């Protein structure tokens, strides 16, 4: 939430963003967050979070066209503030689709192509996470990855869709 | 029927919901997710259930193991994604929010940041995920622990991640309540009849009043049916009951 405030500041082009709450949290002390009093006289005191400027945002989309227009189905989670705050945006996507398909429902395009620096079509690219509506979380794969033994990372990487032989 | 740690926690998390409320469950919150789904099935009043996956009044066919799985959006007539529900909370529009804790004190402050000192922790925890904003801005916050130990229920937190409107703490042994106002302390409200108040005192790191504490009301038939349906195959209860 405070991270998102920082991303919002970056996407709005301002140095900091006021945020609700935080009072009574030691996070303010360790992060050096400052308090401002409402300059319009309500008397309320609000924490202000400094802008967070990610160098690169990488998101996984459902569909993308040749111009980089990227469509996401279901919840966008944090894709919107993240792509607006970052200096560069990279997209991976499940499928390449014709631009005419995106024209039919442009409101489903989460990132317009002019913002996207590079993209790759990576089917199953969210594995072992889910990609709505194509596939769900691969819970057994997540459980194997969390086992505490040698070789877990190597086995996980070898099983990933982008490296596994098809 | 005897309580299990799983049935005690989920049922008592659900019993915190009041008619007409807007409730929210977040990440790593499988038990509150089940509590909200149980309340939808077992209680004869309306309330609104929003979850971190963006679901509003979802009708999941298969309840997922993870409370942030997009499967928990299935059947929602709207997507109310992260920016929306955090902003709703910030402007005072969430009535009941479930937030987790590694440590909690008698005033309902939580630590999800570090065990030991912040600078030299013995365990670095995942962090608040919005708790510092949600705990003081939600009207009421409820938390839970699947264990009941003086390590988790402490007199003094190692680090204060969030502070604010915590009103209930549910463990396998007890339900503690406090008012959503500064200085109010948890009091024992309900205890699991399979334990004793003395045992709860011995296993709690903070001092609390237990005047007027009562044994838990048994599960209603509706609660029992709903929980059995949600936990078909026992995959959720196994994770808590061992």
Q: What is the total count of domains within chain A?
A: 3
Q: Which of B79, B129, B132 sits opposite A25 (nearest CB)?
A: B132
Does residue B80 fall inside a structural domain? yes
Measure B85 CA to nearest chain A CA, in Å. 11
**Chain segment B140-191, per-residue pLDDT in tens:** 999 999 999 999 999 999 999 999 999 999 999 999 999 999 999 999 999 9
**Same structural domain, A62 and A107:** yes
**Same structural domain, A45 and A58:** no
**Same structural domain, A77 and A20:** no
Q: How many CB pairs under 8 A join A and B?
A: 95
Q: What is the total count of domains within chain B?
A: 1
Task: Determine the Cα–Cα distance for residues B110 and B160; give it in Å rounded to an integer.
Answer: 6
Interchain pair B73, A81: CB under 8 A: no
Range of the domain at A34: 2-50
**Same structural domain, A84 and A29:** no
On whether any CB of chain B is under 8 Å from the CB of A78, the answer is yes
Adjacent-strand bridge partners of A118: A90
Does residue B242 fall inside a structural domain? no
**Same structural domain, A25 and A67:** no
**Chain segment B85-111, per-residue pLDDT in tens:** 999 999 999 999 999 999 999 999 999
Number of H helices, E strands in chain B: 7, 12
Q: Is the ipTM of this complex over 0.85?
A: yes
What are all long-range contacts of A103-111, with beta carbons under 8 Å and residues at least 24 apart? A108/A71, A108/A72, A108/A73, A109/A69, A109/A70, A109/A71, A110/A59, A110/A61, A110/A70, A110/A71, A110/A72, A110/A76, A110/A79, A110/A80, A110/A83, A111/A59, A111/A61, A111/A68, A111/A69, A111/A70, A111/A79, A111/A83
Residue B225, both tokens: 């049916």
Does residue B240 fall inside a structural domain? no
CA atoms within 13 A on the CB side of B38: 31
On whether any CB of chain A is under 8 Å from the CB of B128, the answer is yes
Interchain pair A75, B79: CB under 8 A: yes
On whether any CB of chain B is under 8 Å from the CB of A161, the answer is no
Residues of chain B contacting residue A22, judged by C-beta atoms under 8 Å apart: 132-133, 136
On whether any CB of chain B is under 8 Å from the CB of A145, the answer is no
Residue B226, judged by CB atoms within 10 A of its CB (0-12, 13-18, 19+), counts as buried
pLDDT at site A165: 59
Measure A5 CA to nearest chain B CA, in Å. 10
Q: Which of A26, A76, A137 sits opposite B66 (nearest CB)?
A: A137
pLDDT at site A9: 98
Residues of chain B contacting residue A77, judged by C-beta atoms under 8 Å apart: 54, 81-82
Range of the domain at B11: 5-235
Q: How confident is the model at residue A1 (pLDDT cuts 50, 70, 90)?
A: confident
Q: Which residue among A34, A50, A66 closes a domain?
A: A50
Q: How confident is the model at residue B128 (pLDDT cuts 50, 70, 90)?
A: confident
**Same structural domain, A89 and A144:** no
- Per-chain mean pLDDT for chain B: 95
pLDDT higher at A46 or B241: A46
**The pLDDT of residue B48 is above 60:** yes
Does residue B144 fall inside a structural domain? yes
Interchain pair A24, B65: CB under 8 A: no
On whether any CB of chain B is under 8 Å from the CB of A146, the answer is no
**Residue listed under structure tokens 């889910």:** A130
Q: What value does the CA radius of gyration of chain B take, rounded to a whole number of Å?
A: 17
**Same structural domain, A72 and A109:** yes
Task: Determine the Cα–Cα distance for residues B89 and B100; give it in Å rounded to an integer.
Answer: 16
CATH of the domain at B130: 3.40.1080.10
Does residue B241 fall inside a structural domain? no
Task: Determine the Cα–Cα distance for residues A3 and B128; give it in Å rounded to an integer.
Answer: 11
């Amino acid at each position: 939430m405070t991270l998102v405030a920082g991303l919002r500041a970056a996407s709005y082009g301002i140095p900091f963003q006021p945020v609700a709450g935080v009072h009574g949290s030691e996070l303010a002390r360790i992060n050096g967050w400052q308090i401002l009093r409402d300059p319009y006289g309500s008397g309320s005191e609000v924490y202000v979070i400094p802008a967070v400027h990610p160098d690169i945002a990488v998101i996984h989309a459902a569909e993308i066209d040749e111009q980089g227009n990227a469509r996401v189905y279901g919840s966008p989670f944090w894709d919107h503030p993240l792509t607006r705050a970052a200096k560069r945006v990279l997209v991976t996507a499940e499928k390449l689709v014709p631009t005419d398909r995106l024209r039919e429902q442009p409101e489903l395009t989460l990132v317009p192509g002019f913002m996207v620096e590079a993209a790759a079509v990576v089917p199953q690219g969210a594995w072992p996470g889910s990609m709505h509506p194509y596939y769900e979380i691969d819970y057994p794969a997540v459980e194997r990855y969390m086992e505490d033994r040698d070789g877990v990372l190597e086995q996980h990487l070898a099983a990933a869709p982008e490296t596994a032989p098809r | 029927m005897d309580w299990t740690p799983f049935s005690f926690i989920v049922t008592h998390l659900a019993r915190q919901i009041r008619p007409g409320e807007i409730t929210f469950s977040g990440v790593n919150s499988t038990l509150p997710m089940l509590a909200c789904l149980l309340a939808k099935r077992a209680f004869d009043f309306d309330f609104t259930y929003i979850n971190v996956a963006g679901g509003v009044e979802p009708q999941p066919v298969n309840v997922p193991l993870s409370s942030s799985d997009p499967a928990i959006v299935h059947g929602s007539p709207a997507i109310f994604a992260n920016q929306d529900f955090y902003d709703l909370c910030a402007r005072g529009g969430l009535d009941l929010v479930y937030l987790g804790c590694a440590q909690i004190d008698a005033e309902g402050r939580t630590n999800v940041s570090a065990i030991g000192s912040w600078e030299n922790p013995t365990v670095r925890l995942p962090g608040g995920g919005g708790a510092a904003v949600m705990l003081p801005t939600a009207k009421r916050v409820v938390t839970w622990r699947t264990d009941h130990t003086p390590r988790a229920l402490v007199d003094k937190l190692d680090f204060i991640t969030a502070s604010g409107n915590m009103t209930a703490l549910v463990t396998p042994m007890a339900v503690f309540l406090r008012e959503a106002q500064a200085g109010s302390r948890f009091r024992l409200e309900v205890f699991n009849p399979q334990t004793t108040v003395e045992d709860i005192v011995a296993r709690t790191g903070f001092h609390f009043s237990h005047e007027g504490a009562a044994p838990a009301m048994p599960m209603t038939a509706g609660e029992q049916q709903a929980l059995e349906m949600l936990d078909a195959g026992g995959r959720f209860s196994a994770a808590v009951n061992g």
